[in-house]
Structure 1
């Protein structure tokens, strides 16, 4: 597994912020419920996402060696105006410029507090790329807009999610991911539109107390097949398994077992 370049993550954060801003200014109802986050409105989702970016920006800029409380982040909850797409867009634009500039200045190796054992600015560049990738999907679903993501980013988002599940199993004794143990059980993710540049297939082995996974094409207990974007969204529980663009082959119950417990974050 090879990470994307630090500059690639920074570029993608800027790109994803721009796409999220386009949702905000599309005329979508900011009070609409987000189907994949039903406790949130579209505006609440955008404020959460921008707030996470500002929180990370402050930690990286100050080279924080311990977690900063979110309440300490200036304008971390967004503009005072409620229901105002112009104010929300301006806040989000400023947020994107801040986080990208700070991450570029820091470089990937700057020492910064992190929650998954990787104490670097590079960890946060990757994490915020995929925070945006997935929450933009939530936003587009709420707004009824189309969604696509670059293949290298989508594949890396799946890699990162598998690493997060693995970390949760090792580090969080009460997390549902600790239950992801099935002797002889395995999951194959197969993107049908993969390219030679992006090996978009994975095998996840659930035999041990902690999962193991690798990129590759192998027979498994259950396979999830479809376009890479659809596989990504289904694996993040943003797209139902019954969606027409997806195909489940083998023991569907094992895939459902995974999706019910791989819930961290």
Structure 2
């Protein structure tokens, strides 16, 4: 199934809190007004605030049974951004912990209408922004395990590339097929004026693509999210097709 995570949802649920602690630890290393190069125009404090807001938006989906119209987007008067994130994290994880990940829940992805969607989405949301803050603080990236990164690659391609881009009415200017190969898994992403799709595939199908992107799972994961430079992954074949894939993902994930 396209919406099914590649690792256990218990791992993803635990990762939300783990990644949030790493994010806050990195944030404390620099002033909150420090710029975040990977999020142009944002400061470290703004990234922390954003993650706290996203936790509340996710909780709104679960509690209200649909897209929330209102939630607390900023810290209360006198509340620090760290406390704001922690409070949102506590409330969200508590609700997610009460429910089986397969239990039906409102989401914005038709392929996965379950509580598990939010475990996965919030785990990767937090991990990517943790990397942003570590970069801003000049810190070495904390480890991203191979299986977590592979699941993040799958989410980036199936949710953001194959779903969000068509939802926004965006597509490529030329037809291109790019295979992504990492951690023993393969995907094929097609982009062009007519279609924008991505799915898991066999190594034989991946070999027939116009280009193949490969590398260490964490490098491929962060590259798809625009958090690694082009040289972080290996590219074989049509570099223009790969450039189009990367550019389209920037539109989908901005």
Shorter chain as denominator, the TM-score bin is 0.7 to 0.9
Distance verdict in 2 for CA 1:172–1:140, change over 3 Å: same
Does the aligned pair in 2 maintain the 1:106–1:121 contact within 8 Å? yes
Contact 1:225 1:246 in 2 (8 A): yes
Shift of 1:40: 0.7
Root mean square deviation, CA, Å: 2.4
Query: Is residue 186–residue 222 contact of structure 1 (8 Å, CA) maintained in 2?
Result: yes
Is 1:247 matched up with 2:234?
yes
Q: 2:178 aligns with which of 179, 184, 187?
A: 187
Farther off after superposition, 216-225 or 44-53: 216-225
Aligned counterpart, 2:129: 135
Is there any run of 5+ residues in structure 1 with no aligned partner, and where?
Answer: none
Paired residue for 2:189, among 160, 184, 204?
A: 204
Name the SS of the counterpart of 1:211 in structure 2.
Answer: strand
Cα 1:123–1:236, aligned 2, differ >3 Å: closer, same or farther?
A: same
Quickly say closer, same or farther: Cα 1:240–1:101, change in 2 above 3 A: same
Structure 1 residue 23 and structure 2 residue 26: aligned? yes
Equivalent pairs, count: 242
Cα distance in 1 for partners of 2:116, 2:18 equals 18
Residue in 1 that maps onto 2:162: 166
Matches of 1:29 and 1:155, distance apart in 2:
33
Shift of 1:216: 4.1
Uncovered stretches (5+) of structure 2, i.e. residues with no partner: none
How far the C-alpha of 1:41 sits from its partner, in A, is 0.6
Shift of 1:81: 4.7
Within a 5 Å distance, the mapping from 1:203-222 to structure 2 comes to 203-206=188-191, 209-217=195-203, 218-219=206-207, 220-222=209-211
CA 1:49–1:248: 2 relative to 1, 3 Å? same
Q: Give the whole-Å Cα distance in 2 for the aligned partners of 1:264 and 1:180.
A: 15
- Could you tell me how far 1:13 is from its partner in structure 2? 0.8
Q: What TM-score does the superposition give when structure 2 sets the normalisation length?
A: 0.84
| Residue of structure 1 in register with 2:246 after alignment | 259
Indicate how the Cα distance of structure 1 residues 78 and 216 shifts in structure 2: closer, same or farther if over 3 A, else same.
farther
TM-score normalized by the length of structure 1: 0.81
Closer, same or farther: CA 229–79 of 1 in aligned 2, 3 Å: farther
Specify which of 9, 12, 21 is matched with residue 6 of structure 1. 9
1:92 equivalent in structure 2: 85
